Chains A and B, each alone.
Chain A
Amino acid sequence: MAAAIIQLKDLTKSYGKGLAETRALEGVNLTVNSGEFVAIMGPSGSGKSTLLHILGLLDKPSLGQYFLDGRRVDHLSENQLSDLRNQKMGFMFQAFNLLPRTSALENVELPLVYRSGLRGAKRRQLAELALAQVGLSQRSNNLPNQLSGGEQQRVAIARALVVNPQVILADEPTGNLDTKNSIEIMEVLSRLHREGRTIILVTHEKDLAAYAGRVIQLRDGRVESDIYQGNQHPLTLAATWAP
């Protein structure tokens, strides 16, 4: 039995006060084990972004408890959260969020810049390694605008990997990509999953969720369903997309 890396207990997130109070999340209980590939789905307004922000330590819950790797983290200070994000989380965004006018290699190095005691040469070495994992060693000196959308998102994957994260959080990572590039990115993610990485993917596309071993449906801030899909091979899906 794999260890629980994430545990949410009765998690609630509300905005506003009194009559104006709205609940984005209400009584969410969730356990994610190490090595799982989880897709979080739901219509817009279902609370999936809020959940991802709380999971990524970018936001704090209003009520309830969040255990990351066995340690309670919902009450930590801003600086402690910064450090935890830096050490344990790998982020991917819909808009890639690479720094413009900055080479692929330097973009991958960015999280390590905020890690004390890491020399420039060591940072570069780690970044090169991460770029190699996504097959972009040849493009390390290219600027983001010299790369295709798929390549840019692969740089972002390398940036997430470079910190050796316990969890990779991907927020609609293929939202800005065409079908071909989307498949390419999902292939990389499922390979990382097979290699033992824990991945949490937020998406509204059923096809992408199919890559995950587990799909959580959110509706109105509550977990509507939590289904283990078994080992459906993603390549069959790729075939249905192919022209």
Chain B
Amino acid sequence: MSDNPASSKEQYKAPITDWTGVADGVTGRSPLAHVGFDELAQMTPSDAPVQLREYALKGHLTLRCNPEDAAQTAAFEAVTGLALPTAPLSSVASSDTTVRWIAPDEWLISVPASALFSLQQRLQDALTGHCALVDVSSGLTVFELSGERAVDVLKKCVPVDLHQRHFPAGKVVSTGFAKASCTLRRLNDETFELVVRRSFADYIWLWLQDASLEYGLRVEN
């Protein structure tokens, strides 16, 4: 019930400087565009023991197929160059492609946005039989939490054992993250990748700020 609906509309359409091109003139916006990671990266302490980075607007595909169907696994490997990780909680990654085990018949594939459409087409053409391939890019965003205290921050967030013996690099778990959901993958000793729902990105960003308060947080861009 604004007295001046025109002005609020103008405000809504105010120039946005942080749009990022995805492909073919389509534009997208990070769910944390309002936070201003560019500025924060300049302001946050450089020696903080926890670092956070967002990889917004990547391409994500959900693949459902039968790991016992040799034709499907062979087709997947032929297209991506990666063997489908059929062992529970495992992942494989190349320089720009990550494949995470989600369930016995479900995987989450992440690629740069520019490579998404061609990968989706090639997989759709190659896969035969009962399977599904869905573009879920618009629903997800990726955080990378790293640093010597990153594990301590995560201990406040997820109900899984993060000890190296139980959670080595490459392992993937889908779990709850402070009552939101997340797919957590360990990249190395001190680096974790979180795939979260885009609509929860702001909540998780606020939560992570609070959880890392006692250690110090550096935002990277």
Chain B associates with chain A: no
- By a beta-carbon cutoff of 8 Å, the part of chain B in contact with chain A is none
Interface residues of A (CB under 8 A from B): none
